[in-house]
Amino acid sequence: MTHPRDRAIAAFRAAFNGEPAFVARAPGRVNLLGEHVDYNDGWVLPVAIDRAAYVAAAPCSSALVSLAAPDLSDSASFRTMGFEHKQDAFGQPLPRWALYPAGVAWSLEAHGLAVGGLDAAVASSVPVGAGLSSSAAVEVVFATAWQHLGRWALPPLDLARACQRAENEYVGVQSGLMDQFASACGRAGHALLLDCRTLDWQALPLPAGVSVVVADSGVRRELAGGEYNRRRQQCQAAVLALRDAVGDPAIRALRDVSLEDFDRHAAALDPLVARRARHVVRECDRMRRAPALLQAGRLADFGALMNDCHRDLRDLYEVSTPELDVLAATAQKLKGCYGARLTGAGFGGCTVNLVAADAAEAFARELSAAYASATGRAAEIYVCQASDGAGIVG
């Protein structure tokens, strides 16, 4: 398949009979560690990857936004006014994919930022539904395009928050900030450590000689929505019960509960709620230890935390699938692999693997063959590098 930048430019030429004025790019992301803790005020460690969404665009003299989506063989248009109706330029409901750019325009306008008419074509190499934040990449790339067009500037974290608001309040998906944050703030060769309570963050250099390998199981997350919301509710129930049991009103989220206090008071929880909360408390503890291990180049020890995370996501949080378990268990045994686990919400999607760079290609071949043999499915394997965040690339 052609590069998404080239597809976007070609689609622009076909749709608008001219050349784009610029091309914007925003990457997808994979999370190395810190899973299902963002809504528990914990810490996450994403990496912006070198798979991205691209928008080829030019200003439109009217208040019309015209979109071509060659990957979907679809198009849509809407006006930069009356966003609350979620309608296209002809008064019909916008297709779901177009809600993401429309929601970004709505959110930016609510910030008092200029959102002008736009002719644009969007194409992406971030697979949809795989847990690599394809929707966040689309949101951030359109925000970047409008920023360039309007000649205004937001700090990357603020741009990410505007995109998160679009997804939460306009599209109606209750995501955390991590996806948009990584897409906007990514730094080549680095992982990003984000405190989801304070929004303080820092870029941590990845040790030399390591690759991030993403393995797409091919299973999509049909059940993720309702189950994701249920996990959030179970975590909140655990917070309320533990606050009473520990007798500490400062407990606002599971981040505030130590392993020792949890073990001491877990019996006060419903058994299912206790299993869910145990993963989160353990994962927050892993995240307290992980940055120092990564900075010291202790990849085997960091990888062990990834392996432990997968075990807990499988056994305690119960968001894995047989296919993800095969990918993780197989990868953990292959030469050059430091750690492997599912990444994203679960119920399908991808695993993330930290692998010695000189072993990455052989690792990908062996993992693909073993997965096909065990499941009868084909896995898409991507050897990735940590990428810069969103920007104008042409």
- Please work out, in degrees rounded to the nearest 5, the angle formed at the alpha carbon of residue 320 by the alpha carbons of 316 and 323: 145
Q: Which of 41, 50, 119, 179 is catalytic?
A: 179
- Successive 10-residue mean pLDDT values, the chain, 394 residues: 94 98 97 95 96 97 95 96 90 95 96 95 89 90 97 96 95 87 97 97 96 94 70 95 94 97 96 98 98 96 98 97 97 98 91 97 98 96 95 94
pLDDT of res. 129? 75
> Is residue 158 domain-resident?
yes
| CATH code of residue 23 | 3.30.230.10
Q: How long is the chain?
A: 394
Q: Is 189 exposed, middle or buried (0-12, 13-18, 19+ CB in 10 A)?
A: middle
Amino acid at 276: R
Count of the separate structural domains present in the chain = 1
Residue 119 lies in a domain: yes
Give the pairing of strands 350-356 and 210-216. antiparallel
Asked whether residue 394 is domain-assigned, the answer is no
Tell me what pLDDT residue 220 has. Answer: 82
Whether 233 is covered by a domain: the verdict is no
> Is 248 known to be catalytic?
no
- Residue 271 in any domain: the answer is no
Among 263, 315, 282, 332, CA closest to 33:
282
CA distance 368 to 388: 28
pLDDT at res. 133: 84
Asked if residue 179 is part of any domain, the answer here is yes
User: In this predicted structure, what is the pLDDT of residue 225?
Assistant: 57
Domain that holds residue 164: 4-205
Q: Give how far the C-alpha of residue 328 lies from the chain's centroid of Cα atoms, to the nearest Å.
A: 19
pLDDT at 223: 46
* Other Cβ atoms within 10 Å of 241 Cβ, number: 18
Residues 6+ apart with CB under 8 A from 73: none
Nearest to 352, CA basis, from 375, 376, 386: 386
With respect to residue 139, please indicate whether it lies within any of the assigned structural domains. yes
Q: Is this model's pTM higher than 0.85 or not?
A: yes
Domain assignment present for 311: no
What confidence tens digit (pLDDT) does each residue in 227-279 have? 888 999 999 999 999 999 999 999 999 999 999 999 999 999 999 999 999 99
